[in-house]
Every structure is written in structure tokens, then in C-alpha cells.
Amino acid sequence: MMSQTSSNVDANVNPGYAEIHIEKCTDDDVGLLDGWEHWSLEDIIRTIESMKKAKAERGKYGGYGEVSLYLGEITLNKLLKAANDPNVSFDLIEKTVNLVLYTNLTVADGNIIEFVGFLGDWELICNFLKVFVKHGESDARYYNLIYMILTHQSRKNDSFPIGHAVRTCEGFEDAVLAKLPLEMRKQLEGESFYAEDGDVCYSLLTDAAVNM
């Protein structure tokens, strides 16, 4: 089990998002996060792959609970640190983002990033995006990752894309959306998705129903 003392990420990475208190987690699986303060993205990937394998072996109801929230928060923080580290390749960052978007470790059908929003707070994800998007100024590939995160819908017709969930968070329009290239913003404004068993199509960035 982990220590009952606070484990904090460097607040300079992203004030308002970076602090993580693992000692609050009472999940029996919390030991899987031991030593997370020193993890690299490779460690994140190995941990997620190991948990995926164990979840499959546990069976239908063998998903992880609260520990998935902390794994998600840790992963987002590690991505921010990696983006600031010139020794970490973009390919590794992209691989990690893809893995967390397409990995479900819970009984419910949601990915690791979504679980941070569902169980924690969508503001946490918005705060991550506010920092992550700044790297697009020197490498446009980060903009593509942001686009992928915002438009990802893990449960077709039974969930909302991440972008639809964070669009009303404080600062999203000014600190995230406005920082994207104009053409990409236009694409996002034109994106739509089906929800409610596929009966209704909504605009990604508004609550408006779209005629298809």
C-alpha cells in the first residue's frame, strides 16, 4: 500500500491541476500506483498494459475503481512533464495519449481520461489542455493530439465526447479553443456526434441538435 502522506506533483507544471493526494484513495488496488512519483511514460504504459491484462483475467466485473481516477490524473501530469522534456520523443507522448483514450479499466465503458472527469472533475482535464495546447506553438502535432482528445467518444451513441464535456469549463474557449489553428477551430465547430441510442445528433461544442 502507498504511504498515507501526500504525494504532490511539482506545482510549477500546472497550478490548479498538478496536486495529487494518493492517500485519499481507499481502493484495494492502490498498491499498483506505488512509486508513481518517479514514473516515466514507459512506466505509465507498462502499468496500463498490466492492468488491462489483469482486468481481462478478472472477467466481466473485474474492472478497477477509484484507482483508475488517480492513474488518469498521474498520466495527465506525466504527459505535461514529458512535453517539457526535450529528451522525451513526441512519438512516445502520442503513444501514451492513444493508449489512455482507447483503454477502459473500469466496469463502465469509459476510457482513462474520461474517468478523471466522471469521478473527479472535468475542470482537471480542461486545466491539462490549457497547458498541453501551448506546445502546439512549437510543434503543430500537439494540436492534432488536442483535436483527437476533444473529439474522442468512447461509447458510441451512449456517451459524450470529451470536448462536449469540457466545453463549459472555465477558460476553455480562451485558453484552449482560441489557441488552436483557425482551420482546426472551424473543424471542431462543425463536429457532431450521436447520443441517446443514436436518436439525436448534437453539435460537439454546443447543446444544439443537428439535422443530419
C-alpha–C-alpha distance, residues 167 and 26, integer Å: 31
> Cell numbers at residue 204, please?
460537439
pLDDT tens figures, 132-158: 999 999 999 999 999 999 999 876 656
Dihedral of alpha carbons 26, 31, 32, 33, sign: positive
User: Between 25 and 173, whose confidence is greater?
Assistant: 173
Distance between CA atoms of residues 154 and 75, nearest Å = 18
pTM: 0.86
Q: Would you give the end-to-end CA distance of the chain in angstroms?
A: 52
Set of cell numbers at residue 10: 511539482
Instruction: Judge whether residue 82 has pLDDT over 90.
Output: yes
Domain ranges of the chain: 1-120, 132-212
- The set of cell numbers assigned to 28 is 484495494
Q: How many CA atoms lie within 13 A of 36 on its CB side?
A: 30
* Distances 114 to 119, 174, 176, 178, 201 between C-alpha atoms, Å: 9, 22, 18, 23, 20
Question: If you average pLDDT over every residue of the chain, what do you get?
Answer: 85
What pLDDT was estimated at residue 48?
95
pLDDT-based confidence at residue 3 (cuts at 50, 70, 90) = very low
